[in-house]
Structure 1
Amino acid sequence: MVDQLRPAPSHPAYPVRTRRLSLRPLTGRDIDALLTYRADAEVCRYLPFEPMTRTDIEQHLASRWAGTWLTDEGQELRLGVELAPTGELIGDVVLFWHSREHRGGEIGYVLHPGFQGHGYATEAARAVLSLGFEVLGLHRIVARIDERNEASAGIARRLGMRQESRLVHNEVFKGEWRTRLDFAMLADEWCPPGASRPGR
């Protein structure tokens, strides 16, 4: 018998803390910080959005990014990533709830280029996997990444996600054919931060 999705709490306790970071819902006070990387064409190059304006961010904060937890499929939870010692916003991560029946979700992450290369995105994404598996009770979480985005694919691998497919020129993305890598992890493959994987 297939497990049913467990009843989800109204929301996790925020901020969600990791060793070096704090994750919490975005607010209007984050607009200037969000612009420093979401308006950057190079940051957006392989991501599913164009460089954002202040108006774009204001509209997202009032709609798609307004939620503080997931209550049904089709929703997304967008959390700001702060450096714990300073409170500086350095990026954001997202958890999508795609299917209630199949308990499926997806993660994504974007980081200010000045803070890349220090493991922050991996640390933040691991916290989002924890929310998806341990709090929401998802069965399967995926990450869909442009093959040219080697740094992002590296994060998925460091998280322990399994590459399941390489879809060659499967879609036109920003005016050119894109090859997409699909990564996934199941709930019984998830290893909470600080725990050791069986047999390792």
Structure 2
Amino acid sequence: MRNWPLPELSITTPRLELRHPSLDDLDELADRAAEGVHEAGFMPFMVPWSDGEPAERARSVLQYQFRTWATFTPDDWSLELAVVHEGQVVGVQGMIGKDFPVTREVETGSWLGRRFQGRGIGTEMRRAVLHLAFAGLGAHHAVTTAFEDNHASLAVTKKLGYREDGISLHARKGEPVITRRFRMPREDWTESPDIKIHRLDRCLPLFGLPMSGVSEA
């Protein structure tokens, strides 16, 4: 699209492609949500969108993705990337920036279809989006949060070398729950030569950044 270049953006790793989702990708992503993303009786998300019936979960995913497209501005953006493994959409890796040209801080969040969990995909897709943040957008900090009982997310965060950044209290299903915050300054990030960013340059103004003028594959 001449006036909206985000669909051109992708990041590749040895096993994954993270890309701005097409309508077909969104349909697949909705299928993953309908299949389930966590066990019953557990809620890893602040907004309990995954508690509904399968068809409700599927619609919720589609509506949320469309909202992020409609509200994307340089001062307040949410980039949601479909994660593709062996030709199949398996989840989503998100990254949020508010006043990014000033703060140079991003926040990441993700979910993965339950039947694709436990394969290291969650770690690899987080590494990919951190590469986009630091190498592509020039971020100074990346932050993330997780409920204290979300052991899978906490394990990925610790593996990648974030620093503890405090706690917050939230209400979850009528009960207080602790969320743990983590921060990665740019100097703690380790660049991964096996991760590649494709066709970012035309997208940079959408993030409030100038185009680099570098030709990209």
TM-score normalized by the length of structure 2: 0.73
Asked whether the equivalents of residues 99 and 105 of structure 1 are also in contact (C-alpha less than 8 Å), the reply is: no
Contact map agreement 1:82 1:88 (CA 8 A) in 2: yes
Identity %: 29
Measure the CA separation in 1 of the matches of 2:148 and 2:186. Answer: 25
Aligned to 2:46: 48
Which of structures 1 and 2 has the larger relative contact order (alpha carbons within 8 angstroms, sep 6+)? 2
Amino acid at match of 2:147: D
Shift of 1:48: 2.7
Secondary structure in 2 aligned to 1:117? coil
Unaligned runs of 5+ in 1: 1-9, 196-200
**Aligned-partner SS, 1:42:** coil
Name 1:38's counterpart in structure 2.
33
Q: 1:41 offset after TM fit, Å?
A: 6.8
- Could you tell me which residue of structure 2 aligns to residue 198 of structure 1? none
Deviations 1:11-37 (A, max 9, x none): 596431101001101122134422344
Match of 1:6 in 2: none
Q: State how many pairs are aligned.
A: 180
Tell me the distance in 2 between the aligned counterparts of 1:75 and 1:174.
28
What are the ranges of 5 or more consecutive residues in structure 2 without an aligned counterpart? 51-55, 195-217
**Alignment of 1:20 onto 2:54:** no
Write 1 or 2 for the structure with the bigger share of helix.
Answer: 2
Matched AA of 1:93: Q
Per-residue displacement from partner, 1:126-169 (whole Å, max 9, x unpaired)?
A: 110111111111111100111110000001111111122233xx
Q: In the alignment, is the contact (CA less than 8 A) between 1:60 and 1:66 conserved in 2?
A: no
| 1:38-187 equivalent positions in 2, closer than 5 A | 38-39=33-34, 40=36, 42=38, 45-49=43-47, 50-51=49-50, 52-65=56-69, 72-83=74-85, 86-100=86-100, 101-167=102-168, 170-187=169-186
Q: Give the deviation of 1:66 after TM superposition.
A: 6.2
- Asked if structure 2 preserves the Cα contact closer than 8 Å seen for 1:36 and 1:112, the reply is no
1:146/1:102 CA distance change after superposition, 3 Å: same
TM-score of the aligned structures, taking structure 1 as reference length: 0.79
Root-mean-square deviation (CA, aligned residues, Å) is 2.5
Distance 1:174 1:65 in 2: 29
Retained in 1: the 8 A contact 2:92–2:111?
A: yes
